[in-house]
Structure 1
Amino acid sequence: MTLGSRATAIGGGSLLVAGAAVLALLAILAGVALGGADPVTGERTLVVTDDDGAELLATPVGDETEIVIEYTHSVEKTLVRDVYVASDDGLVMTRMEFSSFGAGLPSQADVTERDGRYVYDPPSTTYETLHLKTGAVADHDLIVGGERYDIAAMSDDGAVELTVERR
């Protein structure tokens, strides 16, 4: 059977659909060849936006890159570190490190003690969007792969959202 006879056997509408699929594939290939971003295979990127949606930070993150939100507990005045890794579904919390059992900290959880601090290994929870209200007392910092960002200052002590995108 030749292409012409197959198209006739299938019907003219199917030939149009096949033609459209070929054109779509060519458009994708042209975009990649011209340097266009592929949203499926692009680089995983941590994006921080303020409460108005303005982008404050975009930084690449790998599978093992630790993303740490570090702050001072408002009552205990001790350092707290919430540690995450990026996935295609968002941010996965891997542990919390703290020095005392203050309000909002996991006082009933099974913790271990490492280097004089408590470490909580939570059940795997993924956050598609992580909402965070920064403040002058807590003085939130974001640490990505060892690079430190003062997100409290970047957001004027406002709210931020952290998401993971392919770019």
Structure 2
Amino acid sequence: MKILGAFLFFFIAVTAHAQVNWMSMNDALAAQKKEPRKILFKTYTESCPNCKWMDEHAFAKAELANYINTHYYPVAFDAEGKEPITYKGKKYGNKNYGRYRGAQHELAEKLRIFEYPTLIFFDERGNVINPVPGKMGPKKLEIYVTMLADDTYKSIRTGKDWADYQANFNYQLQD
């Protein structure tokens, strides 16, 4: 009984403090070469209140954090930052960083990110699958990370397919 109690305490303690293990895009692309896995690319800016809200309310859920860490290489990308990134053989940066407020990173421009937050899902070879712009609570985020991780998105071709998928999805989280 003591062993079971210790295990439960450890499990609850680890789960309660689980967080997404964010990395850089360069690190995620390098990791993909060794162990292929999809990339969850979270774009944000320091001045974005919806980005902060998602960090505090959606990404802070232990169940989601564990799922994301297991199925994705999670990337946190400051779309107004200066981090140099090499993607598909081309180097991207932010030439205007420090010159004026809100200067957008070249990779954000390449990926056509115009709203923050935006999540972009990449396949195991670094190709864009789908961008998902806007603020999401845990429930909405859960359906996207699940659908893209298990490749269900490949069978969703119409609005009706998407509506049916949402209606039949077994949500584990609430907003």
| TM-score tier after normalising by the smaller chain length | under 0.3
Richer in helix (by share)? 2
Structure with greater proportional strand content: 1
> Which has the higher Rg, Structure 1 or Structure 2?
1
TM-score, normalising length from structure 1? 0.26
TM-score (norm 2): 0.25
